[in-house]
Homo-oligomer: A and B are copies of this chain.
Amino acid sequence: MDTMKAGLLAILAATPFAMAQDAAAPAYRSQAEILAASPDAHWRTPDPANLLVMELPAGRVVIELAPAFAPQHIANIRTLAHEHFWDDTRIYRVQDNFVVQFGDPAASDEARAKPLGTARRHLPAEFTRAASGLPFTPLPDADAWAPQAGFVDGFPVARDPAADKAWLVHCYGTVGAGRENADDSSRGDELYAIIGHAPRRLDANLSVVGRVLQGMALLSAMPRGTGPRGGYATPAEHTPIHAIRLASEMPAQARPQLQVLRTESATFGELVESLRWRTDAFYKRPTSRVEVCDVAVPVR
């Protein structure tokens, strides 16, 4: 972000709304207008080794992995994808306003569980990491759940500078590794995606591995399970997963062609301010704030 822009944003952030509506406020541009005007340099192409491509009967879901936050889980996920562990597994849990969960429905039954192949059977919990060294773009408003919230490479992140800790935030579309009660019981074979109001209570309580870039509506519109915790009453209700592959292991022409807006770019900064101020004609009471889970980082 250039210095003048950063200065203006800092002034806006510190200015009561009635004043900001005066000459200091920039002309309103919609999200679509801001993105249409963005230079290509403000977008990045995800590393194909970080793209997990899930093939469902209704289409494709693309997840971007965040190895900076859960390296050991993501190494295991890459092994599982490479060895085709998820071929013919299932989406077996859809809990309304909470999660879609998928993998081997028999995972908790040792006698019937699908073998993990060469993937590790035990991983450390990767709930938080050091905050130092992360290219963190903070949001200007206070977060209700953490000392700071913002973005790292397109992922929603919370940070505690005093404790030098950072962690991926549970927003709509966040993907994490399911576990039992033991903190180190996740292995990356059972994954969940958030399909409801951000359950921030889960932050730093599970190993989060990434977020959905494309196909979210295929997950969020699935019929809800009627059993306990959104499990389906019968296996016939499960949705089959044809396959999950790393984009890096797919033929080039079959790979998803996606770009993510750089969250350290001036375009993203303007987008956040647009979401904060909402000076378009619809809003009668501008909010003058935004939460980390209000910001869907653009994908094109």
A196 within 8 Å of B (CB atoms): yes
Q: What are 18 contact pairs spanning A and B, CB under 8 A? A: A96-B221, A97-B216, A97-B296, A125-B284, A142-B144, A144-B144, A145-B287, A171-B197, A181-B281, A196-B197, A197-B293, A197-B294, A200-B287, A200-B291, A201-B278, A201-B287, A220-B224, A221-B224
Q: Is chain A's interface secondary structure helix, strand, loop, or mixed overall?
A: loop
A192 within 8 Å of B (CB atoms): no
The 8 residue pairs across chains A and B that have the minimum distance between CB atoms: A217-B224, A144-B144, A201-B287, A181-B281, A96-B217, A172-B197, A204-B285, A183-B284
A205 within 8 Å of B (CB atoms): yes
When C-beta atoms are compared, the residue in chain B nearest to A142 turns out to be: B144
Q: Give the interface centre of A143, A204, A220 by most chain B CB atoms within 10 Å.
A: A220
When C-beta atoms are compared, the residue in chain B nearest to A230 turns out to be: B217
Bound form: Cα–Cα A198–B203 in Å: 17
How far in angstroms is the closest Cβ of chain B from A291? Answer: 6
When C-beta atoms are compared, the residue in chain B nearest to A196 turns out to be: B172
A222 within 8 Å of B (CB atoms): yes
Contact with B along A117-131 (1 / 0, CB 8 A): 000000001010000
Q: Among the listed B144, B197, B203, B278, which residue makes an inter-chain contact with A143, where contact means beta carbons less than 8 Å apart?
A: B144
Contact A282 B181 (CB under 8 A): yes
Bound form: Cα–Cα A123–B165 in Å: 51
Q: Give the interface centre of A97, A278, A294 by most chain B CB atoms within 10 Å.
A: A97
Bound form: Cα–Cα A199–B278 in Å: 13
Q: Among the listed B142, B196, B223, which residue makes an inter-chain contact with A196, where contact means beta carbons less than 8 Å apart?
A: B196
How far in angstroms is the closest Cβ of chain B from A274? Answer: 12
Contact B145 A289 (CB under 8 A): yes
B-chain residues with CB within 8 Å of residue A217 when the two chains form the complex? 96, 224
B-chain residues with CB within 8 Å of residue A173 when the two chains form the complex? 97
How far in angstroms is the closest Cβ of chain B from A224? Answer: 4
Contact B284 A127 (CB under 8 A): yes
How far in angstroms is the closest Cβ of chain B from A179? Answer: 8
Contact B220 A222 (CB under 8 A): no
Bound form: Cα–Cα A281–B198 in Å: 21
How far in angstroms is the closest Cβ of chain B from A16? Answer: 15
